[in-house]
Amino acid sequence: MGFTWIAALALVAAAPPAAPAPRTDYLVARVASPAVVVRARPGGAALRQLGRRTEFGSPQTFTVVRKRGRWLGVVTSTVANGRIGWVQRSGLRYRHVSIKLEADLSRRTLTAKRGDAVLRRIRIDIGAAGSRTPVGRYAVTDKLPGGRFSPVYGCCILALSGHQGSRRLAIHGTPSGTVPGHANSEGCLHARTSDLRYLMRVTPLGTPVFVHP
């Protein structure tokens, strides 16, 4: 007996629903209340109180990487590289960002992606032998004009949540606006002016940055 359309419909009705496609965007939280307290763990010791603005004047924005009840685990410059801080959900405003940055230190490239789609591949310089760029997960905390701080930063600075010693990590330019193609920084990533202007335009605060060996 042939396979009838009624039997086919029955099989379709019985089939489990397809699993939803995995999300390729990232949740970020902006401080909306006068201040939030960053803690070492949910309900744990207070590390620091942060206001609506960073020390550079940008809106205080976190990348959310974990959720636990009324607590959020966030990427923040308040904690050491490789760790996360915890804040309460209240007093925050949320949005999703679709861009991520991936730095490959061995290839000296920085790739802007949306999901798995490559938007732009950028040649970079990396930290020198005595101040190597640390690997790990970070986030863009500030987007700043380089000239406000020093000509050595070139046109633009994307400050990151990570640290190299006592210094904050960043993606920034050079006085010439180019990259010479060798490891010469104090831990930061250097890029050309044209690439930095692109990053300043397309990367919101809270954009995750993954640095690979």
CA nearest to 126, candidates 54, 18, 3, 212: 212
Report pLDDT digits (tens) over 1-25: 443 444 433 434 454 555 444 557 8
pLDDT in the model for residue 16: 53
- Given 62, 97, 132, the domain boundary residue is 97
126 within a domain of the structure (yes/no): yes
- Given 49, 73, 97, the domain boundary residue is 97
| Structural domain harbouring 176 | 99-212
Same domain, 71 and 31: yes
59 within a domain of the structure (yes/no): yes
CA nearest to 161, candidates 23, 21, 19, 65: 65
pLDDT in the model for residue 93: 97
Same domain, 103 and 208: yes
Average pLDDT for residues 173-181, to the nearest whole number?
86
Same domain, 134 and 168: yes
Same domain, 73 and 39: yes
Report pLDDT digits (tens) over 101-137: 999 999 999 999 999 999 999 999 999 888 899 999 9
pLDDT in the model for residue 165: 86
Q: Which residues pair with 73 in a beta bridge?
A: 66, 86
Same domain, 42 and 128: no
pLDDT in the model for residue 186: 85
Q: Is the Cβ–Cβ distance between 111 and 101 less than 8 Å?
A: yes
Report pLDDT digits (tens) over 57-93: 999 999 999 999 999 999 999 999 999 999 999 999 9
Same domain, 113 and 37: no
Q: Is the Cβ–Cβ distance between 187 and 167 less than 8 Å?
A: yes
Average pLDDT for residues 160-181, to the nearest whole number?
91
pLDDT in the model for residue 180: 75
154 within a domain of the structure (yes/no): yes
**pLDDT(156) > 90:** yes
d(CA 119, CA 108): 17
When divided into structural domains, the chain yields a total of: 2
pLDDT in the model for residue 76: 97
pTM for this model (two decimals): 0.87
**Domain CATH for 112:** 2.40.440.10
pLDDT in the model for residue 11: 39
Q: How many CA atoms lie within 13 A of 125 on its CB side?
A: 24
CA nearest to 210, candidates 98, 116, 135: 135
Same domain, 57 and 160: no
19 within a domain of the structure (yes/no): no
**Domain CATH for 34:** 2.30.30.40
- Given 64, 97, 130, the domain boundary residue is 97
Q: What percent of the chain has pLDDT over 90?
A: 79
Same domain, 146 and 75: no
